[in-house]
């Protein structure tokens, strides 16, 4: 069982058939530098791409600005530890937009008292689910495969494995009996998932997959 970033690094190195392994996170080796370079991006990608329990948080958005000439009635400052929104507990629609005056991304909605359910960056590996661990390992492996082994074919192979775990997690959440979701990612449509007929509740789209550019 992976219990630390070091375990994730070594599992990713194993996935690309690297010759060496790391003893510590301070090893003066190319393998450590490559893993360290991509690790933060990988865990952010994984935790934005699906709704993982370990990174779920809720916050009442209170820093409100009343809007008079916008599509939405209010704008709000996002929580300090916000990584990606999931939904408002009222299921009101919302958008994220960059505000030039405040130089930050704000949440725009018609909800006057929005409780935001969102993902924060969970860096404690012991809190991750097995699918989250595997997506992180293979996502990291995809990034380090080229520079560590020179085998380009391992890049997409590992990204595909990571994406499989991510789309499985997305599908499991959408298929839960506790919600009606108003979007279905193209990757799930391609697998034959049509989604529910009722689309009253608004959920923010999942983040992008590895090797896939968001539209």
pLDDT of residue 201: 86
Domain ranges of the chain: 5-52+129-145+158-189, 57-120
pLDDT at position 214 is 41
Phi, psi values for residue 89, rounded to 5°: -65, -20
Rounded to two decimals, the pTM is 0.86
Question: What are the 10-residue block averages of pLDDT along the chain, 215 residues in total?
Answer: 90 94 95 97 98 96 88 95 97 95 94 97 97 98 94 93 97 73 55 47 94 52
pLDDT at 178: 55
Per-residue pLDDT, 17: 94
Structure tokens at 167: 């789309």
State how far the Cα of 157 lies from the Cα of 56, in Å rounded to an integer: 30
Whole-number pLDDT of residue 199: 42
pLDDT of residue 215: 35
């Amino acid at each position: 069982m992976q219990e630390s970033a070091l375990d994730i690094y070594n599992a990713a190195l194993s996935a690309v058939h690297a010759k060496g392994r790391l003893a510590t996170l301070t090893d003066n080796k190319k393998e450590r530098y490559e893993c360290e370079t991509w690790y933060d991006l990988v865990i952010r990608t994984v935790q934005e791409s699906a709704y993982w329990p370990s990174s779920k948080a809720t916050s009442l958005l209170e820093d409100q600005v009343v809007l008079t000439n916008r599509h939405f009635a209010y704008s709000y400052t996002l929580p300090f530890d916000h990584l990606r929104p999931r939904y408002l507990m009222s299921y009101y629609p919302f958008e994220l937009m960059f505000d030039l005056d405040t130089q930050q991304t704000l949440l725009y909605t018609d909800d006057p008292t929005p409780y935001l359910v969102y993902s924060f960056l969970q860096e404690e590996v012991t809190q991750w689910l097995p699918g989250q661990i595997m997506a992180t390992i293979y996502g990291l492996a995809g990034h380090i495969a080229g520079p560590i082994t020179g085998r380009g074919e391992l890049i997409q192979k590992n990204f595909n494995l990571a994406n499989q775990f991510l789309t499985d997690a997305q599908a499991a959440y959408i298929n839960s009996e506790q919600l009606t979701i108003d979007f279905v990612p193209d990757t799930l449509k391609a697998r034959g998932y049509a989604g529910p007929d009722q689309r009253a509740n608004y959920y923010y789209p999942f983040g992008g997959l590895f090797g896939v550019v968001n539209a």
